[in-house]
Structure 1
Amino acid sequence: MNDELIELQNRIAFQEDAIHQLTLTVSQQQNQINTLKLALQELHKQMRNLEPPEDGHGGHEIPPHY
């Protein structure tokens, strides 16, 4: 009976450690997601602020060395 109690305590300790590690991982991933969202929003702002070429060719000019 005592061995069974010790085994259960070991399992609980292992599970608590696993839960703690998973919580840290999820927290780090959420921070990365938030950082990527901000970067994506900034890129969208930059793209909206880009102006099209004035000549209307859309950047498909033949380079001068041809």
Structure 2
Amino acid sequence: MSTDLHTEIAHLQTQLAFQEDTIEQLNKALADQQIQIDKMMFQIKHMTQRMKQIEPSNIADASEEAPPPHY
């Protein structure tokens, strides 16, 4: 009986060690993803600001052009 108890405790300790390692890996992946999200948010904000600064073209769209005179 004592051997079974020791075996079960060893098994539980092994499972706990694997779970702790998995949690650490997931935590690192989550932190890495947050860094990527922060970088992308910065880039989107920068691109949005740049697009707002772009002046519209002086050339009219085809839909805005007057039809050519017919002879």
Q: TM-score range by the shorter chain?
A: 0.7 to 0.9
Identity between Structure 1 and Structure 2 (%): 31
The number of residues matched between the two structures is: 58
Q: Normalising by the residue count of structure 1, what TM-score does the alignment of the two structures yield?
A: 0.83
Residue 27 (structure 1) shift: 0.2
What corresponds to 1:4 in structure 2?
A: 8
Which runs of no fewer than 5 residues in structure 2 stay unpaired? 63-71
Q: Tell me, in whole angstroms, the C-alpha distance in 2 between the residues paired with 1:25 and 1:12.
A: 20
Q: Deviations over 1:14-45 (max 9, x none)?
A: 00000000000000000000000000000000
Q: Which structure exhibits the higher relative contact order, with contacts defined as CA atoms closer than 8 Å and separated by 6 or more residues?
A: 1
RMSD: 1.2
Instruction: List aligned pairs for 1:1-66, cutoff 5 A.
Output: 1-57=5-61
| Bigger Cα Rg | 2
Write out the 4+ residue segments of structure 1 that deviate beyond 6 Å after TM superposition: none
Q: Tell me, in whole angstroms, the C-alpha distance in 1 between the residues paired with 2:59 and 2:7.
A: 83
Residue 55 (structure 1) shift: 3.0
Residue 54 (structure 1) shift: 1.7
- Which structure dedicates a bigger proportion of its chain to helix? 2
Q: Tell me, in whole angstroms, the C-alpha distance in 2 between the residues paired with 1:55 and 1:2.
A: 83
